[in-house]
Chain A
Amino acid sequence: MTSTAHDWLNAHGDYLYRFALARLRDAHLAEDAVQETFLAAIKNPNFAAQSSPRTWLTGILKHKIIDTMRKGQREVVASDLMNEDDANMDEFFDATGHWAEKPVAWNIPSDALEQKQFFGILQGCLDKLPKKLAALFLMRDVHETDNEEICKEMQITATNA
């Protein structure tokens, strides 16, 4: 069993680390999440029976990532004295609930996604977003909330913008 776990670490460790890093965006937190995943895996009685270890391990990792994000959010809430549970965007609005600064049109070049620079800027944007809102983006495929219907509606509305 130990050798299996070792084999899995060698075969899937890097992938799991990248998966975690893509969502947590912090090398330390990502390493810890992978470590927790293997710890949970070897304690699990179904360990040896896995025919698709990568999928199984990724499933465990998703839970660890959610835990890590929740912990992070609690810290934010405590430090910023935010009692709003949702993404706090109040600073974008004036006292009457109107946009304090109206969203300006973005001019994203069509090949932006091909440019490395773009992702650096995007990282910076994510760091500036309310933590919860950024987490929502990064967690969408992890949470797998069934809100495609709304997204479709939004998309339809968005094309009219």
Chain B
Amino acid sequence: MLSCQSASRLVSQSLDRPLHWQEKLALRFHLAICRHCRRFVKQLNQLQSAVKTMMQRTEADASIMLKPEAKARIMHIIQQHH
């Protein structure tokens, strides 16, 4: 039986890598009986989609621009490497 600590670790690792079938099975079993870890998974998913929305907003926000100094610096570097 997984501890909540091990279960939560598997959950966050699943964001990073595919889990082995043994891990998936153990996790599923734990989640089936543990309300707290189910809530953790749910909140992680909510956080994930909020972060995604936030990133999309930043990407679409035309008022955010490369600073003129930074642009000039990059222009300069491009010239030097020509």
User: Which residues of A, 16-54, contact B by the 8 Å Cβ criterion?
Assistant: 16-19, 21-23, 27, 31, 34-35, 38-39, 42-43
Total A-B pairs, Cβ < 8 A: 164
A117 at the interface (CB under 8 A from B): no
A5 at the interface (CB under 8 A from B): yes
Interface centre among B4, B35, B48, B78 (most CB of A within 10 A): B78
Specify which of A90, A143, A153 is in contact with B5 (CB 8 Å cutoff). A90
Q: Across the interface, do B75 and A6 meet the contact criterion of CB distance under 8 Å?
A: yes
In the assembled complex, which residues on chain B have CB atoms less than 8 Å from the CB atom of A42? Answer: 78, 81-82
In the assembled complex, which residues on chain B have CB atoms less than 8 Å from the CB atom of A43? Answer: 81
Closest-by-CB residue of A relative to B60 is: A18
Closest-by-CB residue of B relative to A12 is: B66
Q: Across the interface, do B12 and A89 meet the contact criterion of CB distance under 8 Å?
A: yes
Closest-by-CB residue of A relative to B78 is: A5
Which of under 10, 10 to 19, 20 to 34, or 35 or more describes the interface residues of A?
Answer: 35 or more
In the assembled complex, which residues on chain A have CB atoms less than 8 Å from the CB atom of B9? Answer: 86-87, 89
In the assembled complex, which residues on chain B have CB atoms less than 8 Å from the CB atom of A150? Answer: 14, 18-19, 24
A56 at the interface (CB under 8 A from B): no
Closest-by-CB residue of B relative to A113 is: B53
A81 at the interface (CB under 8 A from B): no
**CA distance in complex: A86, B3 (Å):** 17
Contact with B along A136-152 (1 / 0, CB 8 A): 11101101011101110
A binding-site residues for B, Cβ under 8 Å: 1-2, 5-6, 9, 13-19, 21-23, 27, 31, 34-35, 38-39, 42-43, 86-87, 89-90, 92-93, 96-99, 102-103, 105-106, 108, 112-113, 118-119, 122-123, 125-126, 133, 136-138, 140-141, 143, 145-147, 149-151, 153-155, 157-161
B binding-site residues for A, Cβ under 8 Å: 3-6, 8-9, 11-19, 24, 28, 31, 35-36, 38-43, 45-48, 50-62, 64-67, 70-71, 73-75, 77-79, 81-82
Known: A16-B66, A98-B3. 10 other contacts (CB 8 A): A17-B66, A22-B58, A86-B9, A89-B9, A98-B4, A102-B36, A137-B51, A141-B52, A157-B38, A158-B41
